[in-house]
Amino acid sequence: MNLLKRLRIDPFTLTLLGTVLLASLLPVHGTAAEWMDDFTDFAIAALFFLHGARLSREAVMAGLLHWRLHLTILACTFVLFPLLGLVMHPLATHLVTPGLALGLLFLCALPSTVQSSIAFTSMAGGNVPAAVVSASASSLLGVFLTPVILALVVGSQGAMANPLDAMFKILLQLLVPFVAGHLLRPWIGGWVARRRAVLRYTDQSTILLVVYTAFSAAVREGLWRDTPVLSLLAVVVLCMVLLAVAMVLITFLARRLGFARADEISIVFCGSKKSLATGVPMAKVMFAGGSLGAIVLPLMLYHQIQLIVCAVVAQRYARAQGLPTEPPAD
């Protein structure tokens, strides 16, 4: 574990890789696959129910009035990233397989993370209440915006569902449980808060379950047979370039607009992150099972890259202000 910390490797990412390996060697088949698919849907709904119960109304009200900052973050997430994805797409189509290229576009259309965006903002000495509001708003708006954005940039490519149908399914499976959990917060919020550490593993277990079922289906459809090693390496490089360009542009934009240092930190971390916890369930709803593994692979890679890079950037911000520099877990 100490070695992983020194190398800035997230242990959860190693577990993700182990899950992909397990699905590659022992994919689930037949009736078991159908049962697991139904159980995964239930686990996803439970995950977002708990997310809704965790959301503090006090934190929301504390940052709600900083509308200029929130609009900037949302513009970075839902305008800047899709434009970068479109610019990168012609190159991606020459370097990677069609499924991976579609996965990069899907990555660019996703909302921001919640937990790690807030954690890195706090570590760097940024505006935490505003980060809570922006990251939470990004996740909620992503339910509506991600299918629409992806339909605009992808058109009829891939196995994407009809945008309105996808939006309805996402509303039913993600937003309805989220709202239900938040409405029940006065009664269950304390119980959820006391078990935050345990429920973090519930989040991760749900992601692992979705990844296993997705890659099982992809392996049955020939994912590894049809994906050259050079395509995998190219996806890693493209994710690194995407994050680097986005963070530079977002930092420049925040300073150009005259935001204070604390607000700049919130914009950089909330605007440059993409949510694995939201993206994997969304992909399951929006795409056919056979192509799902290739589509979520770029997101899994970007997830680890953003944790490593944001940990380094957060430490630099913290040192500049004389703050502790212990990296948070995602």
Q: What per-residue confidence (pLDDT) applies to 329?
A: 46
| Token duo for residue 118 | 């807030």
Cβ atoms of 284 and 48 closer than 8 Å: no
Residue 312: HSE in the Cβ half-sphere, 13 Å Cα cutoff: 11
Tens-place pLDDT, residues 56-77: 666 556 556 678 899 999 999 9
Q: At what angle do helices 176-183 and 30-54 cross, to 10 degrees?
A: 40
Q: What per-residue confidence (pLDDT) applies to 327?
A: 47
* pTM for the predicted model, two decimal places: 0.79
| 141-145: Cβ within 8 A, 24+ apart | 141/74, 141/78, 141/111, 142/78, 142/110, 142/111, 142/275, 142/278, 142/282, 143/167, 143/170, 143/171, 143/174, 143/175, 145/78, 145/109, 145/111
Tens-place pLDDT, residues 221-232: 777 777 788 998
Q: What per-residue confidence (pLDDT) applies to 200?
A: 65
207 vs 19, higher pLDDT: 19
Most confident segment among 261-270, 283-292, 310-319: 261-270
Q: What per-residue confidence (pLDDT) applies to 39?
A: 87
- Mean per-residue pLDDT for 288-314? 81
- Hey, is 83 helix, strand or coil? helix
Most confident segment among 17-21, 213-217, 268-272: 268-272
Q: What per-residue confidence (pLDDT) applies to 9?
A: 57
The residues near 208 (Cβ < 8 Å, ≥ 6 apart) are: 15, 16, 19
Q: What per-residue confidence (pLDDT) applies to 130?
A: 80
- Hey, is 160 helix, strand or coil? strand
| Token duo for residue 213 | 């079922």
Residue 121 Cα distances to 160, 266, 268, 296, angstroms: 34, 6, 9, 26
Tens-place pLDDT, residues 102-160: 999 999 999 998 777 877 887 788 887 788 788 878 888 888 899 889 888 876 454 55
Smallest CA-to-CA distance from 329 within 148, 113, 174 is with 113
Phi and psi torsions of 113, nearest 5°: -70, 165
Q: Is the predicted pLDDT of residue 260 greater than 80, yes or no?
A: yes
Residue type, 143: V
Q: What per-residue confidence (pLDDT) applies to 189?
A: 81
User: How far is residue 111's CA from residue 127's CA, in Å, rounded to a whole number?
Assistant: 19
